[in-house]
């Protein structure tokens, strides 16, 4: 999928397919909003979880949050500032999820 949709010939753990092109466009919508799709490679997620000492559940949460942030317009590949901002948001959301458990 990464090769087909992003022209990147390597396996990835998560892909996001946004419904909208900007956060501004999302904010103009009324009611419930379909942000897009998040596709997770569970095989790679399982491998990475083991490498990082996390459970598959924790890794899946991390990937869902990462994909969701992409759907909201965050892009860690744009520049270092965006990367730092996205990582900070990921940590905030992951902490909030842990608090809900």
| H or E, element range at 17 | strand 14-18
Give the C-alpha separation, 63 to 38, whole Å: 9
Give the dihedral sign, CA 98/58/37/67. positive
Q: In the chain, where are the structural domains located? A: 2-100
CATH superfamily of 2-100: Metalloproteases ("zincins"), catalytic domain (3.40.390.30)
pLDDT (0 to 100) of residue 101: 75
* pLDDT at position 21: 84
Residue 22 has what pLDDT? 83
Query: What confidence score (pLDDT) does residue 36 get?
Result: 97
The answer to whether 63 touches 14, Cβ cutoff 8 Å, is yes
pLDDT at res. 88: 97
**pLDDT value for 23:** 83
Q: What is the pTM of this model?
A: 0.89
pLDDT at position 29: 92
pLDDT in tens, 25-35: 999 999 999 99
CA distance readout (Å), 68 to 26, 38, 45, 51, 71: 13, 7, 16, 23, 5
Which residues in the chain land under pLDDT 70? none
pLDDT of residue 79: 93
Residues 6+ apart with CB under 8 A from 88: none
């Amino acid at each position: 999928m990464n090769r087909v949709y992003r022209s990147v010939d390597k396996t990835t753990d998560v892909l996001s397919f946004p419904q909208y092109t900007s956060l501004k466009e999302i904010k103009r919508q009324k009611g419930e909003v379909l942000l897009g799709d998040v596709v997770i490679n569970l095989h790679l997620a399982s491998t990475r979880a083991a490498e990082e000492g996390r459970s598959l559940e924790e890794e899946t949460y991390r990937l869902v949050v990462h994909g969701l942030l992409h759907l909201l317009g965050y892009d860690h590949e744009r520049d270092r500032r965006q990367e730092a901002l996205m990582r900070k948001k990921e940590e905030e959301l992951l902490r909030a999820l842990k608090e809900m458990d």
